[in-house]
Structure 1
Amino acid sequence: MQRIHPWTIKWLLPVVILLSVLLTGASAAAADSDASDTAAGAAIYVIKAENTVEPGLYQHLKRAYKEAEEAKASRVLLVLNTLGGRLDSALEIGELIRSSKVPTTAFIEGKAVSAGTYIALNAQQIVMQPGSTIGAAAVVDESGTLITNPKTISFWTGEMKAAAQLNHRNPDLAAAMVNPALTLDLKELGRTKAKGDILTLSDQEAVKVGYAESTASTVEDAINGLKLSQPLIVNYEESALVKIGQFLTLPIVMTLLLIIGIAGVAIEFMIPGFGAPGIIGLCAFVLYFFGHYVAGFAGFEDVILFIVGLLLLVSEFFIPSFGILGILGSISLVSSVLLAAPNPKSALLSLVAAVLIAGVIVYLVAKRFAHKGIWNKFILRDQLTTAEGYVSSANKSAYLGMRGIAITTLRPAGTARIGDARVDVVTLGEFLAAGTDIVVVKVEGTRVVVQQRSEIN
């Protein structure tokens, strides 16, 4: 049985422990943050949502609303300034706002279009900054092209109308913000929404049609408009740990960590003994999962799946499995990376790019240090040439002309003693009895040809 490579015990176990400590620390930090309390019923939580609507924004708002609920805040002022984003994330945020125990006032500071409009419609109140807009919620693909699939339009129209009706707003206006095929007479505004257009409302228009309660120039003005008695204003800020996690989950950073992780581990497996590539590679994976964990995307199960995959890959080098362990390990590693990411499709693209770039790096390193590669343990690299002292069989040319005696009857093959050696010999066809004196007349490779000595005397 082969001994487990020292790298496995020396580096893998400490890194696993480090990952566990980091994740446990992140959980404790989150718990400490959640435990913060303010005066019951007196706080207004100001929460900013100024990014693209995507899973990261949902996780940010989820943490913020949780803290506001635990602080027993009287209201959340959600500051919106977004051009939209993913519909699935918008639906999750809408559900978060509707189900929260703390009522929400959405303050549109700039724009709340597309998915941002849906988020605002789920708030109990909407306050708009002068010059801001709401609407233009038609569904588009990643390239910005309008989606005309009737099922998609019907679904999103229904969601927008339901959000509008939830807080007694005109659902037909919400539908006109989604479906370009609709026409609508906007009597309050003195204009018509024509077929082919997408409805967008300015701050003043939104107030006129009842989509916004009022306008306010600043967050302070919006808070004053709520007319609460001496409210305690809490500006929600993410913890430093979460900000680090958000940085580590940026697409470019995520891809870079995957490149370093894959290349480092692969180099350590293929050219063992260096140590540094394996440590750096595993640390990159630790940062990848740590970032996704504190950002709220990954759980312990994703980390465990990654560790299991790594152990399976290591086992493939020491336990004959005809590649089964290696395949299962690879599947576990890929699955853990994709499951930990907020967007599996984006994560898959990052993983493919990382594999290709890491492959080039590993190739160059392996080529440079080929003499130390693990494959040298399985491949015979010595050239078995005569110049190197290797021969395929014993050299019998020295027997030519030597005399000997037949030990066995030669029929025509047999055994003879030539000098001090027993040699397999053959005659030219005649039979010679044992004890006959012979002489070697020809040597062809391993074939020694003899004749009776009296016949050539």
Structure 2
Amino acid sequence: MIRWRLLFFAVLLIAGGLGAFFTTAEADNNDSNELVYVIPVEKEVERGLEAFLNRSVETAEEQGADHIIFEVHTPGGFVDAAGNIAALMRNTDVPTTAYVTGDALSAGAYLSLNADEIVMAPGTRMGSAAVIDGSGSAADEKAQSAWLASMREAASLNDRDEQYALAMADSSIDLPELGAGEGELLTLTPGQAEEVGYSEGTYESREDVLDHIGMSAASVEEMETTFAETLARFITGPIVVPILLSLGTLGLVLELFSPGFGIFGILGASSLALFFFGHLVAGFAGLETVILFGAGAVLLLIEIFSPSFGVLGVLGIAAVLSSLVLSGYSTTNILFALAIALVITAVASFLFLKYIGYSGTLKKIVFEDQAGNEQGYVSNTSREHLLGETGRALTILRPSGTAEFNNERLDVVSEGGYIEQGRKVKVVSVSGSKMVVREVKQTEAAD
């Protein structure tokens, strides 16, 4: 009997152990299968951020992510980039959550509305999404209408009340109960966002958000920008682009006025290299733009050292400018930056030539020697020795003609009057080969 009892307890222990083992294994298996990607949406919304988010979402999809959390903290940015990022967020099959960790203003509010759900951290804000132009003024009516339509569409994606999205972008909508009186844009606090259905909750930390979406035990992968992407976002900024183009063009132009290949050439080449690097990494430009720029530079060099009556020079300038325009994320912005660069280059080059002069590559191809009398060059025979001499008009002078002086026929010009053939004339002025004569009157001849 005792032996049977021992055997019974042994079976129970084994069964319990196996049950615990499989339960733990199943839990571990579930944990390993849940994967959440955290993608920061920070700083200005521009095409550099768009390139980073494209890579991040693509990586999350390839790795089989179960959820994507966009941690939003941005003051806004460019409408075109915001539209592309919003499309990226809507088109992914992975469920998304926008976690507002700072301010989600302007384009940041629009992006948050494109996520499947929104949650906010305490003390954050969402809203104030009026569209403005490049000068900081209110956009025209057409652009404003398009932006309001985008805000309305984003709100309707998850059945949110459209009037609050419109109030974020249109100050004429009056919502005083939410602190947006007449002439003010709506900006929601976490509590207000929950009240109007624009937030699914307020959470202190990422762990709280994971618990909210039911993935507290999931593996978390946080995307980070690479050094190249960070540099690209800086380089492609609207303030940095004109600076790089100005340094690039000015450096190369001044290098032509300076001997050897020195600091100006290095500065110009480095600035243009950074410009193309940033736009390549950000996805704005392709290798074809670099090749086009190189071809234009070669044509300009050929034109400098082997002039082709300007044909190669014009083609080179067109190729260089086209490559720069094609590399930009906005044709308007890049043309504005080029205009600034060309003005700065022209003014700086003028000052350099005026106060320093040039002794570089251009000096070798510009002919500066003078052919004067001091060097033995004589363009014509001087007749100054005939000044005051008297001769005879061989032809009618009206006013030009031919006269004879010391048995030598010479071309002459009267002072302006008509002189008949055979009359006596006197040389009154000599300038090079030009001789001016005056008729000698009879009384003057008698004297």
TM-score between the two structures when normalised by the length of structure 1: 0.69
Aligned equivalent of 1:210, options 188, 197, 200: 197
Deviation at 1:370, TM superposition (A): 3.5
1:142 and 1:372 map into 2 onto residues whose CA distance is 40
Q: Counterparts in 2 of 1:402-441, with a 5 A limit? A: 427=407
Which of 213, 222, 235 is residue 235 of structure 1 equivalent to? 222
Residue identity opposite 2:37 in structure 1: Y
SS in 1 for 2:220: strand
Q: Partner of 2:154 in structure 1?
A: 163
Q: Does the CA contact (< 8 Å) of 1:52 and 1:83 recur in 2?
A: yes
Consecutive unaligned residues of structure 2, counting only runs of 5 or more, are: 1-30, 386-393, 395-404, 410-429, 434-447
In the alignment, is residue 384 of structure 1 matched against residue 372 of structure 2? yes
| Distance in 2, Cα, partners of 1:222 & 1:280 | 49
Q: Which residue of 2 aligns with 1:179?
A: 170
Cα separation, partners in 2 of 1:274 and 1:78, compared to 1, 3 Å:
closer
Give 1:331's match in structure 2, choosing from 304, 318, 324. Answer: 318
- Counterpart pick for 2:57 among 58, 65, 90: 65
CA distance in 2, matches of 1:94, 1:320: 52
Mean Cα deviation higher: 88-97 or 248-257? 248-257
1:199 to 186, 190, 195: 186
User: Alpha-carbon deviation of 1:98?
Assistant: 0.3
Q: Distance in 1 between matches of 2:232 and 2:273?
A: 12
Q: Which residue does the alignment assign to 1:350?
A: 337
Paired position in structure 1 for 2:124: 132
Distance in 2, Cα, partners of 1:354 & 1:314: 21
> Within the alignment, does 1:81 sit opposite 2:90 as a pair?
no
TM superposition shift of 1:162 = 1.4
Summarize deviations over 1:23-78 as a string: whole Å, max 9, x none: xxxxxxxxxxxxxxxx9853222111121222222222122212212222111111
Match of 2:236 in 1: 249
User: What CA distance in whole angstroms lies between the structure 2 residues aligned with 1:397 and 1:193?
Assistant: 94
Choose 54-63 or 136-145, whichever is displaced more: 136-145
CA distance in 2, matches of 1:320, 1:145: 48
Q: For 1:321 and 1:392, how far apart are their aligned partners in 2?
A: 30
Q: Is 1:112 aligned to residue 100 of structure 2?
A: no
Match of 1:406?
none
**Residues 74-110 of structure 1, C-alpha deviation per residue, up to 9 Å, x if partnerless?**
1111111222222222211110100113221001122
TM-fit CA distance, 1:269:
4.2
Cα 1:391–1:138 change in 2 (3 A) is closer
1:293 aligns with 2:284: no
Whole-angstrom distance in 2 between the partners of 1:192 and 1:364? 56
Taking a change above 3 Å as real, the CA distance of residues 279 and 141 of structure 1, as seen in their structure-2 partners, is: closer
Q: How far 1:312 sits from its partner (Å)?
A: 2.1
C-alpha distance after superposition, 1:301-331 (max 9, x if no partner): 2112211221221232355543232222212
Deviations 1:436-457 (A, max 9, x none): xxxxxxxx999xxxxxxxxxxx
**In structure 1, what residue type is equivalent to 2:55?**
R
Q: Secondary structure at the match of 1:126?
A: strand
User: What amino acid does structure 1 have at the position aligned with 2:335?
Assistant: L
Matched with 1:370 is 358
Distance in 2, Cα, partners of 1:288 & 1:138: 31
Counterpart code for 2:120? M
Q: Aligned equivalents of 2:140 and 2:357: distance in 1?
A: 56
Q: Which residue of 2 aligns with 1:122?
A: 114
Shift of 1:374: 2.7
> Residue 159 of structure 2 aligns to which amino acid in structure 1?
H
Corresponding residue of 2:15: none
Would the aligned equivalents of 1:257 and 1:288 in 2 still touch at CA under 8 Å? yes
Contact 1:51 1:82 in 2 (8 A): yes
CA RMSD of aligned residues (A): 3.5
Q: Do the aligned partners of 2:259 and 2:359 also contact (CA within 8 Å) in 1?
A: no
TM-score, normalised to structure 2's length? 0.71
3-state DSSP of counterpart to 1:215: coil
Question: What is the identity, as a one-letter code, of the residue corresponding to 1:286?
Answer: A
What SS is found at the alignment partner of 1:214? coil
Q: Structure 1 residue 380: deviation in Å?
A: 4.5
What is the aligned counterpart of 1:103 among 74, 95, 98? Answer: 95
Task: Supply the AA of the counterpart residue of 2:367.
Answer: I
Letter in 1 for 2:115: A
* Residue identity matched to 2:161: N
